Amino acid sequence: MKRMFLAIIGLSMMFDLSAQKKVLTMEEAVVGYHLYPRSKYIQWQGDKNQLTYLDREGLMGESVDKGEKSVLLTVAELNRILGAELRGFPNFSWLDDNTLVIARQGSIYHIDVAKKQVKQKFTFPKGAANETYSKAGNMYAYTIDNNLYYVDERGNSYTVTADEDKNIVNGQVVSRNEFGITGGIFWSPDGKKLGFYRKDESQVTNFPLLDINTRTGELKEIKYPMAGMKSELVSLGVYDIASAKTTFLDANDFGREQYLTGITWAPESDMVYIQVLNRGQNHMRLNKYDASTGKLIATLFEEKSNTYVEPQSGLVFLANNPKQFIYSTNNRDGFMNLYLHDVNGKLIRRLTDVDADVEFVAADPAGKYVYYLSSEISPVEKQLFRVEVKSGKKSRLTTEEGWHNITMSGDCAYFVDNYSSIKVPRNVDLTTNAGKVVRRLQEVENPNKDYNFGEITLGKIKADDGSDLYYRLIKPMDFDPNKKYPVIHYVYGGPHSQLVTNTWNASLRMWEMYMAQHGYVVFVIDNHGTPNRGKAFEDIIHRQCGQVEMKDQVKGIEWLKSFPWVDANRIGVHGWSYGGFMTISLITNYPDIYKVAVAGGPVIDWKWYEVMYGERYMDTPQENPEGYAKTSLIAKAKDLKGKLLICQGAVDPVVVWEQSLSFIRECIKNNVQVDYFPYPCAEHNVMGRDRIHLMQKVTNYFEDYLK
């Protein structure tokens, strides 16, 4: 009887143990991708109103009207077509209603889905990159090293540039990806001309990176234009396919050290539009050039600012009216809005008359509506709207709270609405262009349901100027309001990065929840300078990076300290890159608040940062010596009182090693103790499984000195 009783107790304990929710491992916190809501990768089948996505059976098609599903191509069929042994379906895109595009082993295949055969195969030489297709010409342009080439439909390759000087780079990204630049190849709509960036880096200084993977180590030099020093010289060439001759556009508004962005071909392929920006980044001209002669035809209009002008996108011509285009800027009415102009530069109307940042999504082929995402409901949400081009009447098309990602059909009759909120892991809906939901395509269940997560709160407080500052707060697992908990303050704070949004779990990183499960309060707040808040909110950091941001961050911490369960004597801060800069700024400027800090890849002095980003926000060291001196952390090394660990990728090409090593040197000179941990083979971010080591290092530091 006694044995039976003990057996029942043991069985009961087993059931109780199995019912307990799990705690994250460090590996899950870093590379636990299964903990984030996963959605189908849905694409429209060219301009056809049919959805395509991958399923167990292969590539599926689904009609929009009846939801009828069909298998377009199985993995077995694809293997037969390619002569391959793939275990799963690779990444794909659609060239048109019937042509699937797949890249594999140095070749790009155009596959006829109906006939289940290869229509065309383009094979590229070893080292080819930046492959860019011209549909009209049925050709691909590509780069090898620093030169540009193209291959035609017969498989013949042609040389566009043949620069032997490695300082001259053709057909690649310029300006270090700033100003919305993502590529360096621009085919004309008719496929007869090939536009390309030419970058001359001969005057840019080199920076050495140490590669330890060789027997004796090897220095690899990169071009790194530091603030106030010589920068790259960018020009735009137009190569004529028929004559095999290149014409460079006469873009010389502000001297050679200027920026060329928003490259846009006219629909007729005769003109090229460029947003030409001065090096000081406070004066932009929208210019129109003759593509054949390279001559400047006209300056359509200009944008000037006392802070900076930051073009982010090219022009969008209306399909039904090639004499009108949509232009976006935040420099006119204080928010990123859309404006309709004619090809002579005349403003027809402000399309989005709203005091909120918007993002262009699509314009329908008939030119009746323009679709855009807007932050007007809330800065932490993205909602879809459309505006009637003629009347200016607008309609809201998405109604569920949260952050919506939109994929419009080719004719703009439907859209796929992929959204989440703090309440919804992820829903994917098929919706008409009037906002009526046709059906739900996917509803993702909570991927964290088996884990013991602390409570997540999305909220806001007031800044000193009365504006709202949005925060994410995570309470410890099994929270007890009668206890006092240490705080991890995670910070980034730089431009173009919004950490707090109304998405699933308020966009937390799983490491934050890991720390909450180990007894910490975790706090994140977006300060002035971050996006989706309008130009004035962002521009206030100009010439004084870190100053207003620190005040906002500390405002959040002071609010947090008002709760009795927060231990005000145990507050730590952690951030990377701009967040590393903020982390060291906070612990040296507010030693009474922060006791422990871990900074990764930190900017120490903006004079050592790149021209494009650094000069936008700080101007040059020559123009703004007071600002550079005030924001430099070199002079702050002597003020370090708490425990500080700096982690640094030793081959970081973004925030170079000179930054953090200079801070360490200053600490040594002032007899200030500091901890330092380099990752010998890491660039700006420590990636892959090495990141597990990094985050364990960060965690251990807080466990040792804060808890």
- Residues serving a catalytic function are 577, 652, 684
Helix ranges, 208-314 (H): none
Q: How many other C-beta atoms are found inside a 10 Å radius of the C-beta of residue 704?
A: 11
Q: How far is CA 275 from CA 125, 179, 343, 612, 703, in A?
A: 34, 10, 14, 15, 51
Which 8-state DSSP code applies to residue 230?
A: -
Q: How is residue 216 written in tokens?
A: 């004796």
What is the C-alpha to C-alpha distance for residues 233 and 218, in angstroms, rounded to an integer? 29
Which 8-state DSSP code applies to residue 233?
A: E
Q: Is 702 helix (H, G, I), strand (E, B) or coil?
A: helix
Do 52 and 533 touch, CB atoms closer than 8 A?
no
Q: How is residue 232 written in tokens?
A: 């790259």
What's the sign of the alpha-carbon dihedral 634, 638, 642, 647? positive
* Residues constituting the chain: 707
Residue 643's φ and ψ, nearest 5 degrees, are -90, 130
What is the C-alpha to C-alpha distance for residues 468 and 347, in angstroms, rounded to an integer? 33
Which residue has tokens 């010439």? 543
Burial pattern 94-116, b for ≥16 Cβ within 10 A else e, equals bbeebbbbbeeeeebbbbebeee
Which residues neighbour 4 within 8 Å (Cβ) at sequence distance 6 or greater?
none
According to DSSP, the residues that pair with 617 across neighbouring strands are none
Q: How many other C-beta atoms are found inside a 10 Å radius of the C-beta of residue 522?
A: 25
Q: How far is CA 437 from CA 137, 360, 403, 414, 705, in A?
A: 39, 21, 17, 10, 53
Do 427 and 419 touch, CB atoms closer than 8 A?
yes
Do 269 and 190 touch, CB atoms closer than 8 A?
yes
Q: Which of 694, 703, 528 is nearest to 600 (CA)?
A: 694
478: left (phi over 0), alpha (psi -120 to 50) or beta: left
Do 220 and 211 touch, CB atoms closer than 8 A?
yes
Which residue has tokens 């540009």? 148
Q: How is residue 360 written in tokens?
A: 């262009």
Secondary structure of 306-361 in HEC code, one letter for each residue: CCCCCCCCCCEEECCEEEEEEEEECCCCCCCEEEEEECCCCEEEECCCCCCCEEEE
Q: How is residue 568 written in tokens?
A: 């005000």
Question: What's the one-letter identity of residue 259?
Answer: Y
Helix 578-589 / helix 547-560 crossing angle, nearest 10 deg:
70
